Amino acid sequence: MKAPRLVASAVLLAASASAAIAQQPIDSAYSARIKELTPTDPRWKFTTELVETLPASATVPTPLKVLGYVPSTIGRLSHVTDINRYFRAVAAASPRTKLFSFGMSDEGREMLGLVIADEAGIENLEKHRTDLGRLADPRGLGDAEKERLIAGARPIYWLSGSIHSPETGSPEMLMELAYRLAVDESENSRRIRSTIITIITPVTEVDGRDRMVDADRQSRALGIGTGGTPLVYWGKYTAHDNNRDGMVLSRKLSQNVMAAFLRWKPVVVHDLHESVPFLYTSTGTGPYNDEYDPIVVDEWNMLAYAEINELTRRGLPGVWTHGFYDGWAPNYTLLAVRIGNSIAVVEGCGEGPRGASNADRAAPPDNHMQSPKWHGLVSALSCRARLLPLPAEVCR
């Protein structure tokens, strides 16, 4: 339905702005499907050189090979078992990956993390994790030891998909991104693998994800359109948004995220959403919560504007920041990250291009989560703050 290719571009850019493409065979069948599923209207651009083709691998299977379809194929949303099955297939085939489980949901669905790095990073993964833990609590460390740890420990960049069940794109996109990061031999991907450790959690709200997939399939089977069957409740005990449990930690989801953060100490957690058009990356607007370190807030701005500049210079319309999230609310799941002085990056793409449910790909893709009033309000506020504004018909 909604797997933002521009979000995939943003993620690939996060560790490096360089994108020199090495000579590597292309998976022609998969790349042809990418082209078919990407809108082609001249008013819109949704892809870049980073993701418009898929590199081929003789050993690591693509999502198409394992699932039988390209993620974000129109009308195909993946259940958690299928997504986890694909991540297990990648982990079994690639020495650059390691899969771990960090807990079960209230209804017994598994929450996974896939570690991606070069072979040396995977071999020394436990040492990097331990060293990051020592830096996170440096009491008792001398200056020389701190400098040694800083020089040697690789930062962890954790991608977190679909905390909001109706925001269906990131689990689909993250399957393809995991493959790309594991097999791509471009200078950009090699640099990412050799300098940082990437962890991907494709689905954070695993219970609600399966409900959303079932609701969508029922809507299609009944012929009542996308969103025709509402998602009445997301989890076993939660009838609404589970991303409001950051303080109480009453759900297994929240408890598992907190435990995983405390174990791995990621430097950045990249939280993927679909809420506003076209791609929003958060700096916060203020007032900022006093518990958040000012250095961390500065780093939100640094990462956001680096991403905006890189995507805008590639011609992607409507990439923006400010005007949506305030930076104060302490009830989000990523409170665990922010009060631990790590960088929690919130990114939203409300107009999923590839595989969008809108059959008329020449029209602006629709986000079924937004009422016209909400969509218009956010668009009016945000269009003025974009380096490359959206076409006028979107900013109405």
pLDDT score for 197:
98
How far apart, in whole angstroms, are the C-alpha atoms of residue 333 and residue 204?
10
Q: What letter would DSSP give residue 159?
A: E
- H/E stretch holding 331 reads none
How far apart, in whole angstroms, are the C-alpha atoms of residue 145 and residue 151?
10
Query: Is beta strand 97-104 parallel, antiparallel or unpaired with respect to 110-116?
Result: antiparallel
| Cβ atoms within 10 Å of 249's Cβ, excluding its own | 17
How far apart, in whole angstroms, are the C-alpha atoms of residue 29 and residue 46?
20
How far apart, in whole angstroms, are the C-alpha atoms of residue 327 and residue 344?
10
Domains in the chain, CATH or no CATH each: 5-117+154-383 (3.40.630.10)
pLDDT score for 19:
45
Are the C-beta atoms of 321 and 281 separated by less than 8 Å? yes
Tell me the backbone φ, ψ of residue 343, rounded to 5 degrees: -95, 115
pLDDT score for 92:
99
pLDDT score for 108:
97
Q: Distance between the two ends of the chain, CA-based, in angstroms?
A: 24
- H/E stretch holding 289 reads none
Q: Sheet harboring 319-320: ordered strands across?
A: 97-104, 110-116, 197-201, 156-161, 268-273, 343-349, 279-281, 319-320
> Which parts of the chain sit beneath pLDDT 70?
1-22, 277, 350-387, 389-396
Length of the chain: 396
pLDDT score for 7:
53
How far apart, in whole angstroms, are the C-alpha atoms of residue 250 and residue 238?
10
**Rounded alpha-carbon distances, angstroms, from residue 29 to 35, 36, 55, 56, 62:** 10, 11, 11, 10, 11
pLDDT score for 361:
35
